[in-house]
Structure 1
């Protein structure tokens, strides 16, 4: 949402999204989710990492859908 420039929270509609950083992470909730929903948490983490990698490649001008050919 930050990369897209969307400032409003989807839940409460307050303009806080662009101000958020790592200090805003609810670590207790994150640990709870890892303890009680390990498979779902792992899947979501992989999805987030894949999306972040895709965005980084696009920012560098590399098409993430194009296969790499090393000669």
Structure 2
């Protein structure tokens, strides 16, 4: 398995959900509510949560990489 370089940025295609993956068991989810960007850190404790992070990293399902403009807009 290749070592990952964090942070890794992903978004859920078709939804306004953006992710900054900080480690194999921690990510920050950015959502837009009432025109405001809100951040929620999520610690993966249980195995299904850790699998979700791996899906994000590997771009499985509807997770896709974010571009530089999106990264700046949602995580700067």
- Fold match, TM over 0.5? no
Structure with the larger RCO, 1 or 2 (CA within 8 Å, 6+ apart): 2
Which structure is higher in helix share? 1
